[in-house]
A and B are shown apart, each in its own frame.
Chain A
Amino acid sequence: GAVVSQHPSWVICKSGTSVKIECRSLDFQATTMFWYRQFPKQSLMLMATSNEGSKATYEQGVEKDKFLINHASLTLSTLTVTSAHPEDSSFYICSARRWGTSETQYFGPGTRLLVL
């Protein structure tokens, strides 16, 4: 149990376009979902925390208007990179925290974004 999926796994887009990444908890309900960004050979940087039905909490330095997060249900959160630029190219990983219990986060497989 505790499987998290992300879609798409790869996306290439032109500069100025918007890209939406989905994160789903497949076999459990997620109290909270998290979005991370990972640069090559570096650790994960938390971008924001989202709770179902409420606004996301963004980490310091993360642009809210650029990285739109929607947590529409207990199994789905989306990250939209608006007006993407080459510097937004990165590996984006989501995680989900199981409803009501564990302090453990379960991670998705990641989405690699390349902005041309």
Chain B
Amino acid sequence: AQSVTQPDIHITVSEGASLELRCNYSYGATPYLFWYVQSPGQGLQLLLKYFSGDTLVQGIKGFEAEFKRSQSSFNLRKPSVHWSDAAEYFCAVGGTLGSGTYKYIFGTGTRLKVLA
């Protein structure tokens, strides 16, 4: 069955430190992969996406992610975290997912806390 796993429920980093949020997926074909960020009480904002091609993708706000097929991973990284990055981060897989209709499967999310 298709699934998305975000192993870290909470992550705390100091401002200026580097960040890596993990995402592993299970999907029968090459998936469409996404990272979204959600601030409290808000909708989701797209950070970046991977469809094909270069496995290192650049997104907004200085984020990047690397698709590793061999590890079924799509980890999100940022070299230097800002206090405004504190939020909930969701990884998602998109596709027909065996149902015939296009949809996403979301991971459970990782809540990022940034220490001043």
Contacts and interface: CB of A to CB of B under 8 A. Distances in A.
B107 A32 contact: no
Given A32-B102, A43-B108, A107-B36, A93 B43 contact: yes
Q: Is the interface of B mostly helix, strand, loop or mixed?
A: strand
Give the size category of A's interface with B: 20 to 34
Interface string B97-109: 0000111101111
Interface in A69-116: 91, 93, 95, 97, 103-110, 112
Nearest to B107: A43
Interface in A35-54: 41-44, 46, 49
Q: How large is the interface on B (under 10, 10 to 19, 20 to 34, 35 or more residues)?
A: 20 to 34
A111 to B, nearest CB: 10
Interface of B: 32, 34, 36, 41-46, 49, 51, 90, 94-95, 101-104, 106-109, 111
19 contacts: A4-B43, A42-B108, A43-B107, A43-B109, A44-B44, A44-B90, A49-B103, A57-B101, A91-B41, A93-B43, A103-B32, A103-B51, A103-B95, A104-B46, A104-B49, A105-B104, A106-B46, A107-B44, A110-B42
Interface of A: 4, 6, 32, 34, 41-44, 46, 49, 57, 91, 93, 95, 97, 103-110, 112
